[in-house]
Chain A
């Protein structure tokens, strides 16, 4: 398997623009997780899905953030409008079951100017 795939790998945008991050989980994994990592706050869980259904989005910082999983092989995290404080590395991870090992994608480095 190719592992978790994320795109784009790098994104530079201006404040106020819409940003869409994409993720393809490992085939057969039922759980998909979106994380944000910064030096100050470490790795934070934003939202996770089970069988394409959002289970917990309490980590989503504001209404500017939204996530969807239209099918088992694709998820998006959207920020609209983006702000400089959204600059971070965003990781997608997937796992077979909730308590089991999560496998991380390579991440998207987002810089909002």
Chain B
């Protein structure tokens, strides 16, 4: 049974701070990793995808992947109240995505 684990939160950070979201996965051969953001009452939307070890930056977002330790993280710099949402980690190999249950982030103005 492939599993993706996330701390459910809520994770509260002040506006302007760095928010750090973490995810661990059980399937060592996983190859594709995704972070989705889901606002309350809305559908998940893709923020970042990462396939190789290391960091990938896109604006205020940085995804970090460590396959040896089987974790992937998402850093949000200069957090804004509009970043308040649930962040879902998703992982796959040759099967469809397996989603974590998400971490709820609250950015306090």
Q: Enumerate chain A interface residues (CB-CB to B < 8 A).
A: 31, 33, 42-43, 45, 48, 56, 91, 98-107
Residues of chain B lying within 8 A (CB to CB) of residue A106: 42-43
Decide yes or no whether B17 CB sits under 8 A from chain A.
Answer: no
Instruction: Assess the A42–B96 pair: CB atoms within 8 A.
Output: no
Contact of B43 among A56, A98, A107 (CB under 8 A): A107
Q: Enumerate chain B interface residues (CB-CB to A < 8 A).
A: 31-32, 34, 42-46, 49, 88, 92-102
| CB-nearest residue of chain A to B99 | A43
Rounded to whole Å, the gap between the CB of A104 and the closest CB of chain B is: 4
Rounded to whole Å, the gap between the CB of B40 and the closest CB of chain A is: 11
Rounded to whole Å, the gap between the CB of A80 and the closest CB of chain B is: 25
Rounded to whole Å, the gap between the CB of B70 and the closest CB of chain A is: 18
| CB-nearest residue of chain B to A47 | B96
Instruction: Assess the B94–A98 pair: CB atoms within 8 A.
Output: yes
Interface of B is mostly: loop
| A33 to B96 alpha-carbon distance, docked (Å) | 9
Instruction: Assess the A42–B45 pair: CB atoms within 8 A.
Output: no
Instruction: Assess the B101–A42 pair: CB atoms within 8 A.
Output: yes
Rounded to whole Å, the gap between the CB of A17 and the closest CB of chain B is: 24
Which 8 A-B residue pairs are closest in the complex by CB-CB distance? A42-B101, A104-B43, A43-B99, A99-B32, A104-B44, A101-B46, A107-B43, A106-B43
Instruction: Give the interface centre of A33, A103, A104 by most chain B CB atoms within 10 Å.
Output: A104
**Known A33-B96, A42-B102; contact A99-B31, beta-carbon cutoff 8 A:** yes
| A107 to B97 alpha-carbon distance, docked (Å) | 18
Rounded to whole Å, the gap between the CB of B86 and the closest CB of chain A is: 10
Instruction: Assess the A102–B97 pair: CB atoms within 8 A.
Output: yes
Instruction: Assess the B44–A101 pair: CB atoms within 8 A.
Output: no
| CB-nearest residue of chain B to A40 | B101
Instruction: Assess the A101–B88 pair: CB atoms within 8 A.
Output: no
